[in-house]
Amino acid sequence: MTAALTTSAGALVRRCARQQLPAVRAAAATAIQQRSGSSTATFDSPFKGSGATKVPSFSKYKSSSGETPNKMVQYFMAGTLGAISAMGAKATVQDFLVNMSASADVLAQAKVEIDLNSIPEGKNVIIKWRGKPVFIRHRTQDEIQEAENTKWESLRDPQPDSDRVQKPEWLIMLGVCTHLGCVPIGEAGDFGGWFCPCHGSHYDISGRARKGPAPLNLEVPEYSFPTEETVIIG
């Protein structure tokens, strides 16, 4: 009886073992696959409609030294390129400003100093200032009287002689006709001042427009007398 029971129990154990063997084998295979697939396994595409598409693993291309060294290279490249770009922009702006600024010869002409002793009474001198002619007239007492006694209120560009000169004996003005820009001729015209031959404008001994198409008086530039003998124009 005991022997029969022992035989039956043994058979039962063997049958159970036989039934569980495939499941145990499958579990072992899955474990092996999971272990070996951590670096090379593929996985299903997350995109819709991809079906059975398998996306390969790129883990073997990952840097073995981690993210920090890569970021340092990126920061270095970005900083270097930024510095080079800033230097280029600075050089461009600098060149542009240098080109736009006045050249040395133009700056030298910004102000002109004239020795008044070289201009005798009753004479004109023409100088070039900023590319334009400037008339300097050393007026006589008669010319000063005539300029001051003119009824300026009725002129087309009304202006008293005292507004056009700092010293009555020195009349200084641009030699550019206010009609279309010709250079008038001195000691000519109907009023003893200047005459523009281009279209026949007449200016008096104060440079005021008196006749012809010129609409305005000859322009008076900025000037000053640093000493009794010199004038600076500009």
What does R_g of the chain's alpha carbons equal in angstroms?
Answer: 51
Residue whose CB is less far from ligand FES, 156 or 199: 199
Q: Which residue type occupies 191? A: F
Task: Considering the complex, state which of residue 88 and residue 181 has its C-beta at the smaller distance from ligand FES.
Answer: 181
Shortest CB 187 distance to ligand FES, Å: 17
Question: Residue 92 and residue 100: Cα distance in Å, rounded?
Answer: 12
* Token pair of 118 as six digits: 């070289």
d(CA 103, CA 93): 17
The span from the CA of 36 to the CA of 21, in Å, is 23
Q: What is the binding site for ligand FES (CB under 6 A)? A: 177, 179-182, 196, 198-199, 201, 212-214
Q: Rounded to an integer, what is the distance from CA 27 to the centroid of its chain?
A: 74
Shortest gap between Cβ of 182 and ligand FES (angstroms)?
4
Cα distances from 188 to residues 196, 202, 206, in angstroms, run 9, 8, 13
Based on the residue annotation, tell me whether 199 is a catalytic residue of this protein.
yes
Which residue, 175 or 212, is less far from ligand FES as judged by CB? 212
Query: Which residue's CB is nearer to ligand FES, number 144 or number 178?
Result: 178
Report the nearest approach of ligand FES to the CB of residue 174 (Å). Answer: 13
Say which residues have a Cβ less than 8 Å from residue 45's Cβ, sequence separation at least 6.
53, 54, 55
**N-terminal to C-terminal alpha carbon distance within the chain:** 140
Query: Least Å distance between CB 212 and ligand FES?
Result: 6
Supply 149's token pair: 């006694």
Active site residues: 199
